[in-house]
Copies of this chain bind each other. A is one copy, B any other.
Amino acid sequence: MRAVCVLGTGLIGGSLLRAAARAGRTAWGTAASDTTAAAAVADGFDVTTDTDTALRRAADADALVVIAVPLTALEGTLARIDAVAPQCRLTDAISVKVAVADAVAELAPQARYVGGHPMAGTAESGWAAGGPDLFDGAAWVVTADDGLDLDVWRDVAELAWECGSRVVPAAADEHDMAVARISHLPHLLAAVLASVGAGEQGDDLALSLAAGSFADGTRVAGTRPELVLAMCEGNRSALLAAVDDALGRLGAMRGALASTGGLSATVQGGYQGRQRWAATRDPLALGVALDGDPDVVLAELRELGRRGDVLEPWKA
């Protein structure tokens, strides 16, 4: 089993390190602070604040390096990779994929990079909030753009499966657009709904009458604002397209309501969308052989993800 070096041991990286160790891998990591490193060491894990040493060890062991630092710390991390382990097997756990791929291409161009996004999380953050079960049952997107190294692709998929996740292949830009539509936009619409419902300070009539539809529709508006901002602002261009789509549909609905009074197109469309969502809850697991022409294989993987299917773990 390939060794794993996890850069950043907050909620996501810390959980990943634990899950990899639980699976029997040799795994080590880095932390940004002495406090985090000490906490992880006290829990029995091999975590240091010395990134260069961790990366040198990764280069020697031909380990899979996983970037799990915040997006804001990405550039500095890539500079160290390019200096110490320039040709390493590299993936990441950051929630946007085009920006990371662009940064890798610019700052660590020799790295054998395949993007990853384990779609798990809690409202908490930091090493102490993590656990090896965090990724159980979650979707783990593995980017499948032309030109990627299928050998590293296999490494990332195997890590995801060991963590209990479903592997969903996707082009980096399609991933960013998808999460804008199903994760970032929901947070913004929830915020808008909460503001409209709250209305003017001092008039709580509407809020006092609110029941299930408002409670559900605004639930994620209760998320800590800094988490939502970091998530949404990092995916700005894809999010703009999703917001424009929502604005267009809401504007058309407004026009219909004002003119004919009819809301059927909006309501029927939403009903069908929700039915389609329900139908994706139990995805097919399909096998794909990774040993053909790389660009043909990657195209097949992307097509599988677009159909809403997941990759079936291959037999060892």
Contact = CB atoms under 8 A, between A and B. Distances in A.
Number of copies: 2
Contact of A249 (B196, B202, B219, B239): B196
Dominant secondary structure at the A interface: helix
Interface residues of A, number: 98
Interface in A241-294: 242-247, 249-251, 253-254, 257-258, 261-264, 266-278, 280, 283
A61 interface: no
A8 B242 CA distance: 44
Nearest to A245: B196
A251 B240 CA distance: 11
A1 interface: no
A192 interface: yes
B214 A277 contact: yes
A109 interface: no
A266 B188 CA distance: 7
A270 B192 contact: yes
Interface of A: 119, 138-139, 141, 168, 170, 174-175, 177-179, 181-183, 185-199, 202-225, 228-229, 232-233, 236, 239-240, 242-247, 249-251, 253-254, 257-258, 261-264, 266-278, 280, 283, 305-310
